[in-house]
Structure 1
Amino acid sequence: MARPIADIIQANWRQLASLARVVWDELTLDELIKSGGDAQKLIGLVQTRYDMTRSDAEKQVMSFFERHRTT
């Protein structure tokens, strides 16, 4: 049975946080690590820091998660 993407992302978040830092360079590595790979927290950070709609931030975060999913 496949693991949900959220579980996979959170389990690998410490490694993925540095990749997320490249994508969202206005976020600090500390902020990214503290988000724990939680999609809702990350969406909120991206939305606030980049002054975008929640929908746009969600699209970016979900796209990042899909690109970096591992099993």
Structure 2
Amino acid sequence: MNWDQIKGQWKQMQGSVRKQWGKLTDDDLEQAKGSRDQLVGRIQERYGIAKEAAEREVDDWSKNAS
């Protein structure tokens, strides 16, 4: 799924995001609003991982998101 699709269906995708990254709060998801960069930043903060690692995780998730 590409990011335009994810952004357009963000409300529906939030459950999948929560399942993948359980440490993200509702506020984190609201702040991200379907933005890849915002989501990467929130994952970095919550999990204490490097930007590149967070980007890889988000890219892997988005490929399998449906």
TM-score (norm: length of structure 1): 0.83
CA distance in 2, matches of 1:34, 1:18: 15
Aligned pair partner of 1:28 in 5, 25, 29: 25
Aligned residues: 66
8 Å Cα contact 1:18/1:29 also seen in 2: no
8 Å Cα contact 2:31/2:38 also seen in 1: no
How much does 1:34 deviate? 2.8
Larger radius of gyration: 1
Greater shift after overlay, 29-38 or 42-51?
29-38
1:45 aligns with 2:42: yes
Structure 2: stretches of 5+ with no match in the other structure: none
CA distance in 2, matches of 1:65, 1:49: 19
1:67 aligns with 2:64: yes
How much does 1:45 deviate? 0.3
Question: Identity of aligned pairs, percent?
Answer: 29
CA distance in 1, matches of 2:35, 2:11: 12
Q: After TM superposition, where is structure 1 displaced by more than 6 Å over at least 4 residues in a row?
A: none
CA distance in 1, matches of 2:61, 2:26: 16
8 Å Cα contact 2:40/2:51 also seen in 1: yes
